[in-house]
Amino acid sequence: MKKFIALICSVLLITVLAACGGGSDSSSGEGSESASGGDGEVKTIKAGIGLNSDHPQYKGLLKFKEIVEEKTDGAIKVETYHSGQLGDDRTMTEALQLGTQEVTIPSTAPLANFVPEFSVFDIPFLFPNEEVADKVLAGDTAQGLLDKLEEQNLVGLSYWENGFRDLTNSKHEVATVEDFEGLKIRTMENDLHLDAFKALGANPTPMAFTELFTALQQGTVDGQENPYATIYLQKFYEVQDYVSNTHHIYSPFVFLMSKSFYDGLSEEQQKIVKDAAVEAGKYEKKLNREANEKYLKQLQEEGMTYTEITPEARQEMVDAVQPVIEEYKSKIGEETVDKIYEEVEKAQK
Q: Which residues bind ligand KDG (CB under 6 A)?
A: 49-51, 57, 89, 105-107, 162, 188, 209, 226, 251
Write the DSSP string, 215-250.
HHHHTSSSEEEE-HHHHHHTTGGGT--EEE-----E
| Closer CB to ligand KDG, 91 or 298, in the complex | 91
Contact (Cβ atoms closer than 8 angstroms) between residue 135 and residue 173: no
Least spacing, CB of residue 346 vs ligand KDG, in Å: 27
Contact (Cβ atoms closer than 8 angstroms) between residue 224 and residue 74: no
Q: What are phi and psi of 105, to 5 degrees?
A: -135, 75
| Closer CB to ligand KDG, 104 or 260, in the complex | 104
Least spacing, CB of residue 112 vs ligand KDG, in Å: 12
Write the DSSP string, 28-45.
--TT--STT-SS-PPEEE
Our CA angle for 192, 245, 108, nearest 5°, is 35
Taking the C-alpha atoms of residue 194 and residue 182, their distance in angstroms, rounded to an integer, is: 14
Least spacing, CB of residue 328 vs ligand KDG, in Å: 19
Distant-in-sequence, close-in-space partners of 257: CB < 8 Å, separation ≥ 6: 45, 96, 102, 103, 154, 155, 157, 273, 277
| Closer CB to ligand KDG, 231 or 273, in the complex | 231
Contact (Cβ atoms closer than 8 angstroms) between residue 123 and residue 318: no
Least spacing, CB of residue 165 vs ligand KDG, in Å: 7
| Closer CB to ligand KDG, 51 or 325, in the complex | 51
Strands 154-164 and 76-81: unpaired
| Closer CB to ligand KDG, 234 or 266, in the complex | 234
Least spacing, CB of residue 80 vs ligand KDG, in Å: 12
- Which residues are 298's β-sheet partners? none
Least spacing, CB of residue 34 vs ligand KDG, in Å: 32
Least spacing, CB of residue 1 vs ligand KDG, in Å: 60
Output DSSP code: residue 26: T
Least spacing, CB of residue 231 vs ligand KDG, in Å: 10
Our CA angle for 231, 233, 237, nearest 5°, is 45
Q: What are phi and psi of 123, to 5 degrees?
A: -65, 120
| Closer CB to ligand KDG, 170 or 269, in the complex | 170
Residue nearest to ligand KDG (CB): 50
| Closer CB to ligand KDG, 89 or 195, in the complex | 89
| Closer CB to ligand KDG, 52 or 203, in the complex | 52
DSSP SS3 for 187: strand
Taking the C-alpha atoms of residue 256 and residue 72, their distance in angstroms, rounded to an integer, is: 19
| Closer CB to ligand KDG, 75 or 105, in the complex | 105
Least spacing, CB of residue 19 vs ligand KDG, in Å: 38
Helical (H) or strand (E) element with 258: strand 250-258
